[in-house]
Amino acid sequence: TSFSTPKKKKRDDGMREHVTGCARSEGYYKIDKKDKLKYLNNSRAFAEEPPADTQVRRRSEQRRLLSSFTGSCDSDLLKFNQLKFRKKKLKFCKSHIHDWGLFAMEPIAADEMVIEYVGQNIRQVIADMREKRYEDEGIGSSYMFRVDHDTIIDATKCGNFARFINHSCNPNCYAKVITVESQKKIVIYSKQHINVNEEITYDYKFPIEDVKIPCLCGSENCRGTLN
- Identify the pLDDT of residue 20: 74
User: What number is the average pLDDT over the span 144-166?
Assistant: 90
pTM above 0.85, yes or no: no
Pick from 37-41, 65-69, 130-134 the range whose average pLDDT is largest: 130-134
- Identify the pLDDT of residue 170: 93
Rounded-to-integer distance, Cα 217 and Cα 209, Å: 19
Please, what is the average pLDDT of the chain? 79
- Identify the pLDDT of residue 108: 93
Rounded-to-integer distance, Cα 80 and Cα 111, Å: 13
Residue 130: partners with Cβ closer than 8 Å, 6 or more residues away: 122, 142, 144, 154, 156
Rounded-to-integer distance, Cα 124 and Cα 92, Å: 29
Residue 165: partners with Cβ closer than 8 Å, 6 or more residues away: 101, 102, 173, 188, 200, 201, 202
Of 92, 213, 226, nearest in space to 171 by CA:
226
User: What number is the average pLDDT over the span 14-34?
Assistant: 69
Contact 224, 168 (CB under 8 A): no
* pLDDT-derived band at 126, boundaries 50, 70, 90: very high
Percent of the chain with pLDDT over 90: 28
Domains in the chain with CATH codes: 90-118+160-227 (2.170.270.10)
HSE-CB for 179 with a 13 A CA cutoff: 5
Beta strands at 199-202 and 100-104: parallel, antiparallel or unpaired: antiparallel
Rounded-to-integer distance, Cα 75 and Cα 70, Å: 8
- Identify the pLDDT of residue 66: 54
Is the model more confident about 30 or about 221?
221
- Identify the pLDDT of residue 195: 94
**pLDDT tens digits, one per residue of 171-217:** 999 999 988 878 888 999 999 999 999 999 999 888 888 888 888 88
Residue 56: partners with Cβ closer than 8 Å, 6 or more residues away: none
Is the model more confident about 43 or about 217?
217
Of 135, 174, 128, 136, nearest in space to 152 by CA:
128
Of 165, 161, 156, nearest in space to 83 by CA:
161
